[in-house]
């Protein structure tokens, strides 16, 4: 793939986050930070230097691997810059940061742009924070309502677990009542977590939802990467991390500077015998 053909750019706006989700690589199963994590926001100059080389961008997706985009001190500036280079902006967040006034201001920034802000809400008030540790359901709902009331387009993202699967229909119903554009159900197989409580370190077992017994058979066959499972193949794309380094996708550990963009590995050439990284994360 010629990198200038990229139509999709995933951006890590920051490595900061207020949540302690057990499945996140920024912490140790939900407790204490990863000692190798560098806390930083994406530099605007580095961001600009990449954007000017991508004339065909359609979507910029602020989807964090180590951080929540809304935690970036310069997220307004990153968003403003993105508006100049892409048709659509997507922001994915746990939604519990900032206050209602801030969310109204952010909606005003986005409302003249095709956009979606995905609020991660894994259940109702009694279950949401079991996985999304240190986030508050009521705060997220209040922020989302403020955002939507000011013209923002919101999406409710739901990850099913055994502890919240009984609330799926109630969450769908509530999302419609509140005015979310749609309900995004994350169907990926989720494994059992021996999680740790973010404050005490005590073990908290988080069980996958019951449908896993149907879908888990696909996870065991790690031999093939299909086009529909690979962002790079289904849509020409790149990933930019918070250090300003690029790679074909967020699962690659080796990131190159913008000056070395032409040296990115071409996943498509390896489709019949995909790289180990591809097999581990996106194969079926």
Is the distance from CB of 229 to CB of 267 less than 8 angstroms?
no
Domain spanning 3-209+231-268: which superfamily? Aldolase class I (3.20.20.70)
Where does residue 91 rank: exposed (0-12), middle (13-18), buried (19+ CB within 10 A)? Answer: buried
Instruction: Say how far residue 158 (Cα) sits from the centre of its chain.
Output: 12
Q: Name the pTM for this structure.
A: 0.92
Per the DSSP assignment, residues forming a β-bridge with 256 are 246
CA distance 186 to 247: 24
How far apart (Å, rounded) are the C-alpha atoms in residues 8 and 57? Answer: 6
- Per-residue model confidence (pLDDT) at position 97: 97
Residues in the chain with pLDDT values less than 50 = 214-218, 220
pLDDT per residue over 42-100, tens digit each? 999 999 999 999 999 999 999 989 999 999 999 999 999 999 999 999 999 999 999 99
Measure the CA–CA gap between 271 and 248, rounded to whole angstroms.
14
Which has the closest alpha carbon to 61: 138, 117, 9, 21? 9
């Amino acid at each position: 793939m010629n990198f200038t053909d990229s139509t999709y750019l995933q951006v890590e706006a920051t490595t900061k986050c207020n949540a302690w989700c057990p499945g996140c690589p920024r912490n140790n199963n939900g407790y204490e930070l990863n000692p190798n994590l560098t806390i930083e926001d994406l530099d605007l100059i580095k961001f600009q230097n990449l954007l000017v080389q991508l004339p065909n961008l359609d979507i910029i997706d602020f989807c964090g691997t180590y951080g929540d985009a809304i935690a970036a001190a310069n997220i307004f500036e990153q968003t403003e810059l993105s508006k100049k280079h892409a048709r659509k902006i997507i922001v994915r967040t746990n939604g519990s940061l900032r206050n209602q006034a801030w969310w109204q201001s952010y909606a005003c920034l986005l409302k003249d742009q095709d956009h979606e802000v995905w609020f991660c809400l894994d259940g109702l008030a009694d279950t949401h924070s079991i996985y999304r540790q240190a986030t508050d359901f009521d705060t997220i709902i209040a922020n989302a309502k403020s955002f939507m009331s000011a013209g923002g387009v919101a999406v409710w993202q739901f990850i099913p677990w055994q502890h919240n699967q009984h609330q799926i229909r109630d969450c769908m119903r509530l999302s419609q009542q509140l005015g979310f554009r749609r309900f995004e159900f994350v169907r990926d197989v989720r494994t059992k977590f021996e999680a740790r409580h973010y404050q005490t370190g005590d073990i908290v077992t988080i069980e996958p939802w019951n449908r896993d017994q149907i879908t888990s058979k696909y996870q065991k066959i790690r031999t093939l990467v299909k086009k529909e499972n690979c962002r790079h193949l289904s849509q020409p794309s790149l990933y930019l991390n918070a250090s300003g380094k690029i790679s074909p996708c967020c699962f690659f550990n080796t990131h190159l500077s913008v000056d070395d963009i032409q040296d990115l590995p071409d996943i498509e050439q390896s489709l019949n015998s995909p790289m180990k990284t591809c097999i581990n994360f996106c194969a079926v």
